[in-house]
Structure formats: C-alpha cells, structure tokens
Structure 1
C-alpha cells in the first residue's frame, strides 16, 4: 500500500477511424476503431477511508455529471472493490475539463483512473489482469485508457492491439452545444443497416501510421449523426475548410477534431474558429496534441 490518497489525470481520446461491422449474438455491436489519446485531461483524486463510495464533481465541465452511484467512476470503484472482496470506503473528487457527451471518452477515462489509482492504494493482491477485466465490464473504451497512446480496438472495442504511437501532432477539438446519446447512435445504425448479423460484410479498418493513409479512414457514424444534428456536420465542414491532415467526428459525437502538421497552422485555425463561433453559446474549442500515454499518477 503506497498511501491513502492519490491524484491522477485522465486524458481524452479521439477516434481516428471507427467501423461498425455488425451485431453480435448478445445484441452488442462488433466494431473496429483506432483510439488516440490527446492531452485534454480531467483530474481524479482518490482518498481511502470513510464509509462507502463518495463522489464529488467540480470544474468547468461538471454540468450534468452525477454525484451518485450512477457515475461511471463510482461504479468503477464499486466493481473493483467487489472483485477484491473489499469493504473499504473511498472518496472520489473529479475535476472535469473534458466535455460530457462529446465522444471524447471523459467518463470512461475517469473510470479507468479510479481503477488504476485504487489498485495502487489497495496494494497487494490486485493484479493488472483483474483491473483490465473489471475495466472491460464498465464500457468498451475503459480498457483503452489504462494504456492510452494509440491502439486498435476490436470486437466490442474493448479488445486492444497496442499500436506504434503517432508523433505528437497538434490538433483542434470543437464541441458544439449538443449532446449525442451513444445508445441512440447505435440504434440508428441498426435501423439504417437493418441490423445485419455478426460477421457482416462491413469493410475492416486498417491502421497505417502514414498521415495520408489515416486521412482515408472513416467514421461510420458521421452519416447518421450529421443527418440528425446538422450543427455537428457544420463543425466538421468548417474544420475541413482549414485544410488539416484530417477532420472527423470523434466516436458518436458531438465533438469533431482536426489534426495538423504544424502548430502554427493549428493556432491560426483556432483563431479563425473563435471568430466563426464567437456568437455561438456553449461551443468549446480546445487546442490539443496527441498524447503518448494513458491515465497517470500526478501525486
């Protein structure tokens, strides 16, 4: 046991590509995706002690994040302690900077940080295999954040192949004032595709570190999400107008992102976008870089 409290940071992610290949026998979806961590972080503080699992939420992106057992971070703590047969109490403090409901994985990253940090606090008897197994029960992208950097996700997205990290390219993330339900997005995909069976003929995703090749990847949710939320499509088109290496929807949205070869190009585009969205309430514009890590301990 290394102490009774820890502070960690939990990165956001973008999806460089996302394919839905079909529906599995249990009704979940077979997907392939290229996860990439970026340097936009929530802070997660853990303290052992007290009764039960307690959670508080702070920060500029706290609106709509529950301070209850429904929060995925609290569920992560309960799941790991349950797997260990532990009755320990823990306090969780989240400082939210990753927008909620944006396709950037903030809730999943917070959950991964809780698993990682709580395993360190509890100490002996917590194997990496246990932590990874619990992560897979919480959400498709939770296991990714334990490793971070660049990874290929397959099956439900929780099976991972770690890829060579990309260079720390500069990027922009733009989040319009709308939230997209992942549940709705997959249901809409089912309706559009007629819910094809497992091993359907969807074209597999292939990773190539060459940026021009990455630009040819696609996100299957763009057509579906753009049709219902034209403001999200407008953001993606506005990003593409600046001639980045690529501009794409992240996950099921609502965030869109663009990557650039040079920081000066990214910064000029950030200023242009601030002018474009100057009168749009609730829009967020974030300057980021690709991040070669996952959740990590700060103190």
Structure 2
C-alpha cells in the first residue's frame, strides 16, 4: 500500500461503507492518530517450522510450531469512548477488513470486559500493512494488541498469564503474541511453551497479491496420515535444533505447504523462484500464501534483491507470468521481541512509571519496506 495522502478520504468505519481509491480499489489510507489515547504497532509472525500431528475430535488439528514475531506491523490507535457508549467502533484503511463482530478485535475487547468486569468501550483505528490471507497472523496480532491495549488503559488489572489464556479463547495464534517474541506452540497453537528468544535475524516476506487461501481450505486438503513425524522432523528435535543452532542451520518444514501447493500449483513455482536467488532458507508461513526468505540472497545481488526480484519477475514467460501480472509484494523485515510483560512490540522502555495509563505513542521505528512488483509489461 502506498504512503498516506493528504487528500485521502475518511477511513472505513463500522456502520459505514468504506471509502476507496478509485484507481486501485483500495480503501483510503489513514494518515493521523491524533487524539488517540494509545497507539501501538500490531505485529505479525512467521512459523519457523509447522508440524501437523493429528486431527482432533473437535475438528481442529493438533500442531507443533515455533513462531517468531517480525517487524511487518499494522498500527492501531485506541480511544476511550464516552461512558454512554455500548459498542466498540472500528475504523480501517482497508475495505476488505470486516468491522462487525466477526473481527477478532471486537471479540478480544468483549472477552476482556467479560473477564475483568470493565465496562469501557473504544474507538479502534487500524492502519493495515500486514497482508490478509497470508499465514502471517495479522488478525490474531490485532486481537492480541487490542487485549494488551485494553489492559493498559484500564490500569493493568490482568496479568500476562491472564492475557495468554484469554487470547487463546479469541484465536489460535493470538496467545503467541504474549510471549517475548519467540515461542514453541502446541494444541491449536494457543498453548505456549517458553523458549529463549531467537537471535536477531533479517528476512524478506513475499506475498502474491492475487492469491489467497483460507486456513480451513488448506487443512481440508491435508492428508495427516502421510506425514513423517520421525527423526530430524520430530517437533521436539526441530525445536531443540532451532534453540541450539538457530533457524539458519536447522531443518525447517511446514506441513501445510504441500496441500497449499495442491490447491494453487503456482505457489510451488513461486517458492522455487525465490530459492533461485540463493537464500539459505525459504518456507511458506502458516497456511500461506506468503513465503519468508531468511537472511540475504547470493552475494552477487548485493543490496539489490528487491530491484532484481522485480526485474526478473518481468521476464517470466511461463506459469508465473499471470502471478506477477497480478502483483507480488516484497517486505524487508527483522525479528522483533518484547522486553517485558508491560511493554508491547517495538515499544521503548518508558521514562514514566509503567503503571501510568497516559497516552503513549508508538515510537518512530521504521516500518518494513514494501516493494510491489510491477505488472508484466508484455500484457
């Protein structure tokens, strides 16, 4: 998405129709959080590995995964509404984001009120950068950020352990974000097992714009009985390898890649195209359709990976041509972490008491750079 425009229309609001850019079809970009009580970065995640163990009687799948928070973030503003308010209000600069009770942010705020007895309602503004249907946990990260914000604005009545438990009720991946940024997760993904934060690392996230897959569709295409859970691919062995040697020197696997590739064969071609640049590790995140490439490409590309990727994509004449015609976003990111239970991602330690609920603006950390790949000029 492009930078904010001073001529941008008002953001889409719950109860209103979304305003959009007639040239792109995208909703107008929010350019200000003035007047909001709290503004935070809402993180995304990658699955460093993801093993699917079995299908459970409740219809969900038992998984084992190491998740890592990354610096591809949305921004969220929270403003307390008058005491007469009876509903939360959502606003977003992306018209595709639902603003009713199906949004996990609303579910998170309702859960917080139910669990704590608080009766505060909020106006929540979301400035989206995390792609949807990407396997990056953007919606879960928004829900976790809403829980954290409500707790801070209410004077922190809940512990981090409380928030982990409540987040698990809201969404499978939401609890992860209350770790310190790296965690081994089991169950549906909501059961956290602490681990040492992974060492700082650089990565690229690549997301085809024209392809999205629902998590349910990918799991439906998975044959659990065909998976090899033994040897080096045993989840506990994978976790130990990653903790000891880091993801660059460990075997990585995502059991949802093959069913995603079966549904959209072009994804296999896209992964091979990314690997051709010489990255040490390339893997689909979650149920897709984004890929992450750890580290840097072959040295001959220097610091010009995104430019070279764009040029090479325009030269494609095979099956990938249509994919690149629809557009592919490339984000340059890094691993991030939380430094304490009362700090959120990308927040610096405050000068004032951590119990203060005065306005805290998210610090001016640079957001990940996004490079949309131009459409193929041959069509």
TM-score by length of 2: 0.70
Q: For residue 286 of structure 1, what is the aligned residue in structure 2? A: 331
With over 3 angstroms needed to count, the CA separation of the structure-2 counterparts of 1:283 and 1:257, relative to structure 1, is: same
In the alignment, the residues of structure 1 paired with residue 249 and residue 306 of structure 2 have an alpha-carbon distance, to the nearest angstrom, of 22
Q: For residue 34 of structure 1, what is the aligned residue in structure 2? A: 66
- Are 1:116 and 2:148 matched, yes or no? yes
- Are 1:274 and 2:310 matched, yes or no? yes
Q: For residue 171 of structure 1, what is the aligned residue in structure 2? A: 203
Which of 259, 268, 274 in structure 1 is aligned with 2:294? 259
With over 3 angstroms needed to count, the CA separation of the structure-2 counterparts of 1:84 and 1:292, relative to structure 1, is: closer
Q: Any conservation in 2 of the 1:172–1:270 contact (CA below 8 Å)? A: no
Q: For residue 119 of structure 2, what is the aligned residue in structure 1? A: 87
Which of 254, 263, 266 in structure 2 is aligned with 1:231? 266
Show structure 1 runs of 4+ deviating over 4 A: 211-215, 261-266
With over 3 angstroms needed to count, the CA separation of the structure-2 counterparts of 1:212 and 1:155, relative to structure 1, is: closer
In the alignment, the residues of structure 2 paired with residue 169 and residue 94 of structure 1 have an alpha-carbon distance, to the nearest angstrom, of 27
Q: For residue 20 of structure 2, what is the aligned residue in structure 1? A: none
Q: Any conservation in 2 of the 1:109–1:295 contact (CA below 8 Å)? A: no
Deviations 1:22-44 (A, max 9, x none): 02232321100110111111101
Q: Any conservation in 2 of the 1:46–1:90 contact (CA below 8 Å)? A: yes
Give unmatched runs, 5+ long, in structure 1.
Answer: none
Work out which of the two has the higher radius of gyration on C-alpha atoms and give 1 or 2: 2
Q: For residue 191 of structure 2, what is the aligned residue in structure 1? A: 159
Q: Any conservation in 2 of the 1:10–1:296 contact (CA below 8 Å)? A: no
In the alignment, the residues of structure 2 paired with residue 246 and residue 266 of structure 1 have an alpha-carbon distance, to the nearest angstrom, of 18
Task: Kindly tell me the number of residue pairs found equivalent between the two proteins.
Answer: 288
Q: CA deviation at 1:124?
A: 5.1
Q: CA deviation at 1:104?
A: 0.7
With over 3 angstroms needed to count, the CA separation of the structure-2 counterparts of 1:54 and 1:236, relative to structure 1, is: same
Deviations 1:162-187 (A, max 9, x none): 22222222211110121110011112
Q: For residue 182 of structure 2, what is the aligned residue in structure 1? A: 150
Q: CA deviation at 1:112?
A: 0.5
RMSD: 2.5
Q: Any conservation in 2 of the 1:77–1:118 contact (CA below 8 Å)? A: yes
Local SS of the residue matching 1:243: coil
